[in-house]
Amino acid sequence: MSLLVVGLSHRSAPVSVLERASLNADAQAKLVQDTVAAEPAAEAAVLATCNRIELYADVDKFHAGVSELSTLLAQHSGVGLEELTPYLYVHYEDRAVHHLFSVACGLDSMVVGEGQILGQIKDALARAQELHTAGRLLNELFQQALRVGKRAHSETGIDRAGQSLVTFGLEQLAAGEAVGDWARGKKALVIGAGSMSSLAAATLARAGVAEIVIANRTQERAERLAKSLDRTDGTGPRARAVAMSAVAGELARADVAVSCTGATGLVLTADMIATAVQGRGGAPAAQVTGDRPDAQARRTAAKHATRTDTRDTPLPPATVAEDGCPLDLAAVDPGFSLLGESAVAGIDAATLEQHGAWVDGGTSLLEGGPGADRRERTEQITDADAELISALAAAAATAGRVPELRKPEPVAVAPRPEPVLYVLDLAMPRDVDAAVHRLAGVRLVDIESLAEASADAPMAVDVDQVRRIVADEVADFAAAQRAAHITPTVVALRTMAADVVASEIARLEGRLPGLDDKHRAEITQTVRRVVDKLLHAPTVRVKQLAAEPGGAGYADALRTLFDLDPETVASVSQADDDPKKNGKNRGPA
């Protein structure tokens, strides 16, 4: 087994990179086809979700495989290899199996324990089977991952540790309020009719919204989803389908909008949402900003304004400090130069003249020591210091003292108004313009904000139990693969034994031409039973030994002891690993 996975996810890359590297269905198909066409890979499958892109392959060379898979990911995603490489992770053999099993259990999801990943893994396997790029290894790996994920959800309380991305997103929109209380009676617009959008619509329906409008590029799918949700008897929401061209108008009526499409561009722009809010409230959706670019200018203006009205402020005592400095050092804020404006703020003209004479005389607390060092540092006093003191002395002679420096008062930030429109963007790349975050009256939750919120989500005790399940399943899978590795050798051994039996029976018939059919059949059956009994115990035992760690050498020993033809063993292996054969026989998923 040479399983290799190269990928990136919300744990390794920022959302902006994931967004650019996302692959649509056609790009995913081309990626796996190009992967199996490359020299190091025999099988390939891609797992692409809203927060991960992973390429799985069976390779014969590790370093060449990593290089080829990384290059292919970069080419098909459109993100340069140099830019993409720092965000890529690589798992090999048992570590790759452990990673996929952890993903299947929801341990690597943005919301720990969410179960939607199982459907995405099943879709990835089905896509690889349809394209005939999944052979024996990937078929067994992905099917086992699905079983491990189902086991984790059935045997533990991992569902209590997290929920679907949809539920988590709605909780973030509700901002601490129970989703049912928050959603009750609201009008919802769901854009898209895929698996994630369908889940969002169903979740909103259960939460108690009054109306759900489904918009999709394919009208038939939108109508089918709306029909499954519509409850005209009053037990659920009213649901209807609209064309994508009606989104702008429906947005002005909606209280909640959820978008998850496969579009490559923005579905909801900031202007569209601002217009919708304006149409509802009668006023434009103003931008809410924190520290705008002109904030520093306001601080500077406030700073100079305070300097013009400080004449009644008490002056600091003109005491003599270290080395004859006329400043009261206790009145000087730490961290400011004793030669600069901050040091002499608030000083009267006479004291300022003393300070100027002191600086001009070469005695400064910044010099740090006596002797030659002090003289050298005296030479470093710049003309700017002398000019500043002269200017301040002239100001002090006119005003009576140097105005004090004061920090500007903090600028009051207007409270953000309560939202009238809640927007949940579950698409990757994003459907909703990130600038919507700055619109007043709108609360936007997208993949990036969900990633930040999920970082602080508590971990359930059941997570440890799931990790133990994953570890056990990885060990079982590795043992099964090691045992399977010797199967072609065992098959080749039994094929050779059957050939020997056939050859000896033919010889016997040549020596005993008068042998009747009854006796010939009895002799043949007896010889075959003898061979089977001789081979049974060794072949069963060698499979058991091969399943143990380090058991790969038993296949080599068997080939050497019985002088098996390597081409016969290889032909059996190729027949077992044929992707087309395995693609047609999908097995349980």
Catalytic residue annotation: 50
Question: Does residue 367 contact residue 373 with C-beta atoms inside 8 Å?
Answer: yes
CB 3 within 8 A of CB 56: yes
Q: Are 169 and 424 spatial neighbours (Cβ–Cβ below 8 Å)?
A: yes
Q: What is the DSSP letter of 155?
A: H
Answer whether 206's CB lies under 8 Å from 179's CB.
Answer: no
Burial category of 200 from C-beta neighbours within 10 Å (exposed 0-12, middle 13-18, buried 19 and up)? buried
Q: What CA–CA distance (Å, rounded) separates 164 from 153? A: 13
Strand partners, 9: 52
| Residue the block writes with tokens 């290899």 | 81
Which 3 state secondary structure label does DSSP give 449? helix
Q: Helix (H, G, I), strand (E, B), or coil: what is residue 4?
A: strand
Q: Tell me how long the chain is.
A: 589
Six token digits for residue 108:
């690597």
The CA distance from 581 to 579, in Å, is: 5
CA angle (436, 49, 134) in 5-degree steps = 160
The residue behind tokens 């500077």 is: 300
The candidate with the shortest Cα–Cα distance to 139, out of 285, 339, 273, 3, is 3
Q: How far is CA 9 from CA 54, 87, 229, 428, 431, in A?
A: 8, 8, 33, 12, 19
Give helix 462-511 / helix 553-561 axis angle, nearest 10°: 0
- Helix, coil or strand: residue 445: strand
* Order of strands across the sheet that contains 211-215: 238-242, 211-215, 187-191, 256-259, 421-425, 442-445
Q: Measure Cα distances from 224 to 242, 507, 564 in Å.
A: 12, 72, 60
